[in-house]
């Protein structure tokens, strides 16, 4: 997660997930357990690339915590050749998302390998593919494939409309370029490129050095949704951004306090779940904000009385 920074020692301009590259930022990362419990957080300069972060974080986690066997699950933004080599050199198991279009081996070997998918769930099919001793899991979501195919058709309809207005109408639209080919000073839709794009609909590819079944590899990777939910909570519930601090220590302190608050949120949700209570966090906060106390003096003694709780408090 990137955090906008109003001044500060750690602030650097880098890749902005908010599409504000002119602003300085810091990068905040979190280490979560398998069940989504926050364990540790990291604060880094805003110009540090995601792929440069993973190995140092793994090393620090192994030093700080009594970990036995470690399995790193990371999305494609964290993956590079150096990361894979580093994990293997450390003897760390991994499940990594791979880039479909940019990785030649994935594009030409994995996606082209024949074989039947195995049904894991209504929205998940998996197929194991080995390439030169490297294990890949090709995953397919038929619902997502249908949605992406419909989106592609809408893009092509818009593209045909733009083409009818002349080539100048295409200037600045990167989304159209993948479907076009230049011909005699103009552009036209290339059916081969359209077919190539359709190959990726509903698919994602994982690389792993584990011996887990293909279905379990895919399900473990989908647990990255816990991380996404964590950072959505960090942005919306705790209002951590922007950060109005100057010194590195206070910036780290600001984010760490937010991290502790998220840990408390997680713990509260777990306790509610164990009691069989299905309560929304925002409702808990709303009703707790209404809790009031009254100070009463009686018989020379001071008493603090709490007014009756309301709602889910």
Q: Are residues 261 and 305 in the same domain?
A: no
For residue 178, pLDDT beyond 70: yes
To the question of pTM greater than 0.85 for the whole model, the response is: no
Three-state DSSP at 56 gives helix
DSSP-assigned letter for residue 117: P
> Is 133 a domain residue?
no
Q: Which residue has the higher pLDDT, 46 or 98?
A: 98
Q: How far apart are CA 152 and CA 178, in angstroms?
A: 11
d(CA 267, CA 13): 35
- Our measurement of the distance from residue 256's CA atom to the centroid of its chain's CA atoms, rounded to an integer in Å, reads 20
The DSSP-derived string for 216-235 is HHHHHHHTHHHHHHHHHHHH
One domain, residues 55 and 22: yes
Q: Is residue 250 domain-resident?
A: yes
Q: Are 142 and 205 in contact (CB under 8 A)?
A: no
By C-alpha distance, which of 15, 37, 35 is closest to 25? 15
Same domain? 273 vs 286: no
Name 28's bridge partners. Answer: 43
Is residue 27 over pLDDT 90?
no
Predicted confidence band of residue 205 (pLDDT cuts 50, 70, 90): very high
CB atoms within 10 A of CB 137: 25
Separation CA 60–CA 297 (nearest Å): 55
Of 163, 182, 198, the one marking the end of a domain is 198
Q: Is 87 domain-assigned? A: no
Residue 91 lies in a domain: no
Q: Which residues contact 160 (CB under 8 A, 6 or more apart)?
A: 189
Position 22 pLDDT exceeds 70 = no
Is 129 inside a domain boundary? no
Tally the domains of the chain.
Answer: 3
Whether the upstream peptide bond of residue 174 has omega within 30° of 0, thus cis, is no
Averaged pLDDT for residues 215-232? 82
Whether 208 maps to a domain, the answer reads: no
The least confident of 35-44, 152-161, 230-239 is 230-239
Rank 25-34, 140-149, 230-239, 258-267 by mean pLDDT and report only the highest: 140-149
Confidence grade of residue 181 (pLDDT, cut at 50, 70, 90)? confident
According to DSSP, residue 178 is labeled: T
Instruction: Give yes or no for residue 118 having a pLDDT over 90.
Output: yes
**Dist. CA 148–CA 139, nearest whole Å:** 15
Which residues touch 90 (CB under 8 Å, ≥6 apart)? 55, 58, 59
User: Is 35 a domain residue?
Assistant: yes
Tens of pLDDT along 268-312? 888 888 888 888 877 888 888 888 888 988 888 998 988 888 887
| Highest mean pLDDT, choosing among 76-85, 242-251, 257-266 | 76-85
Q: Which of 11-20, 186-195, 246-255 has the highest mean pLDDT?
A: 186-195
Which has the higher per-residue pLDDT, 155 or 21? 155
Domain membership of residue 257 (yes or no) is: yes
| Residue 291 DSSP label | -
Domain hosting residue 287, numbered range: 280-313
* pLDDT per residue as tens digits for the range 189-200: 889 999 999 999
Among 135-149, 156-170, 252-266, name the most confident range.
135-149
Report the mean per-residue pLDDT for the chain. 83
């Amino acid at each position: 997660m990137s955090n906008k920074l109003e001044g500060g020692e750690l602030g650097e301009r880098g890749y902005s997930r908010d599409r504000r590259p002119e602003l300085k930022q810091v990068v905040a990362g979190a280490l979560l357990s398998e069940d989504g419990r926050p364990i540790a957080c990291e604060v880094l300069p805003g110009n540090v690339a995601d792929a440069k972060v993973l190995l140092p974080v793994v090393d620090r986690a192994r030093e700080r915590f009594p970990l036995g066997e470690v399995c790193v699950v990371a999305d494609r933004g964290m993956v590079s050749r150096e990361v894979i080599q580093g994990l293997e050199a450390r003897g760390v198991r991994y499940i990594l998302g791979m880039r479909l279009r940019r990785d030649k081996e994935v594009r030409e070997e994995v996606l082209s390998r024949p074989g039947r998918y195995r049904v894991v769930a209504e929205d998940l099919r998996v197929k194991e593919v080995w390439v030169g001793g490297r294990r890949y899991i090709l995953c397919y979501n038929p619902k997502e494939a249908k949605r992406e195919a419909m989106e592609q058709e809408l893009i092509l309809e818009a593209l045909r409309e733009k083409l009818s207005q002349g080539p100048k109408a295409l200037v600045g639209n990167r989304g159209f370029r993948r479907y076009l080919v230049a011909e005699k000073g103009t552009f036209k839709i290339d059916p081969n490129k359209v077919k190539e794009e359709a190959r990726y609909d509903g698919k994602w590819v994982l690389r792993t050095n584990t011996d887990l079944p293909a279905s379990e590899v895919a399900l473990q990777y989908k647990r990255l949704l816990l991380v996404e939910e964590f950072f959505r909570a960090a942005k919306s519930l705790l209002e951590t951004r922007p950060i109005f601090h100057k010194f590195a220590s206070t910036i780290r302190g600001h984010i760490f306090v937010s991290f502790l608050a998220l840990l408390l949120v997680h713990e509260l949700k777990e306790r509610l779940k164990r009691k069989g209570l299905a309560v929304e966090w925002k409702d808990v906060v709303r009703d707790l904000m209404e809790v009031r106390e009254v100070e009463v003096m009686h018989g020379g003694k001071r008493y603090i009385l709490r007014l009756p709780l309301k709602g889910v408090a």
